[in-house]
Structure 1
Amino acid sequence: MAVGLGPLPGFFPVAGVRLGVASAGIKKPGRRDLVVIEAAPGSHVAGIFTRNQFCAAPVTLTREHMSRGQPRFLLINTGNANAGTGEQGLKDAMACCEALAVEAGVAPSEVLPFSTGVIGEPLPVDRILPALPAVLKALDPNGWADAAHGIMTTDTLPKGATRQVTLGDRTVTISGISKGAGMIRPNMATMLGFIATDAAVEPKLLQSLASELGEISFNRITIDGDTSTNDACMLIATGQAGNQEITRESPDLARFEEALREVYMTLAHAIVRDGEGATKFVTIDVQGAASSREALDVAYTIAHSPLVKTALYASDPNWGRILAAVGRAGVTDLDLNALTIHLDDVCLVRNGGRAPEYSEERGKAVMIQPEITIGVDLRRGEMRERVWTCDFSHDYVTINAEYRS
Structure 2
Amino acid sequence: MEDPSERSDHAFETEAVHAGEEPDLGPGGTGDLVSPIHLSSTFAMDEAGDPSHGYKYSRLGNPTREALEHRVAALSDAEHAMTFASGMAAIATTCLSVLGSGDHVVAFDGIYGGTKVFFDDYLTEHFDVTVDYVDATDTDVVADAVTPETALFWMESPTNPLLKLCDIEAIGGIADRHGARLVVDNTFATPYFQRPLALGADVSVYSTTKYLNGHTDSIGGAVVTNDDGLAEQVRFVQEYALGAMLSPFDCYLVLRGSKTLPLRMRQHEANAKRVANYLSEHEKVTTVHYPGLDTHPGHDLATRQMDGFGGVVSFEIDGGAAEARAFVESLDLFTLAVSLGSVESLIEHPASMSASYVPEEERLASGITDSLIRAPIGTESADDLIADLERGLGYL
Q: Same fold (TM over 0.5)?
A: no
TM range (shorter): under 0.3
TM-score (norm 1): 0.26
TM-score (norm 2): 0.26
Structure with greater proportional strand content: 1
Structure with greater proportional helix content: 2
